[in-house]
Amino acid sequence: MLKIVVCVSGGGTNLQAILDAIDSGRITNTQVLAVISNNAGAKALERARDHGIEARALSPRKYPDREAFNQAFTEEMEKLSPDLIVLAGFLVRIPPQMVAAFSGRIVNIHPSLIPSFCGVGYYGLKVHEKALERGVKVTGATVHFVNDGMDEGPIIAQKAVDVEEGDTPETLQRRVMEQAEWILLPQAIDDIANDRIHIIDNKAMRRK
């Protein structure tokens, strides 16, 4: 049984996609231990409680500096001891000590086709704003393992989504979620839970 902790900052639509996939059997062999948010008012925490899952708020603002938060966050995660940490719209950079402690066991969903529109400053609606400003015809989402870089870890899966005439950042964001994010992230978790994915030479590879 793959035990996961999901980290979310906002509404938790990707969290809901995970929970729905577990309930429907599209994700198997998986248990959500807890949901952590840096925002005590995040709807994601409510979604977790509605499913009987432990919900915790852990905000950098409650600590004297970022190093103190990083240490507390890492210690909290080590107490939970998950097999996999899932970043599902989490807008806090993962502490280096946590990346080291859970090497190869942290995954993130990013709303673009990496390496496009990723890295520092590219998150949430800003990704879609930049995609539309650039005039791309195709965007999408990427699930990847997390390393010390920003959106630089081994790619697990990607799915393309067409940009349509008249799109706004909001309509494009919604389409990317519906057609890519809510499909890719549950698939990746199920693949990891059932030992279909492994890392070779810094690349995520599917077992034959």
For the annotated catalytic residues, the residue numbers are: 110
Angle between helices 182-193 and 13-24 (to 10 degrees): 50
What is the torsional sign of CA 101, 102, 103, 107? negative
* 32 three-state secondary structure: strand
**Pair type for strands 84-87 and 203-206:** unpaired
Q: Rounded CA gap, 96 and 41, in Å? A: 26
Q: H or E element: which one contains 184?
A: helix 182-193
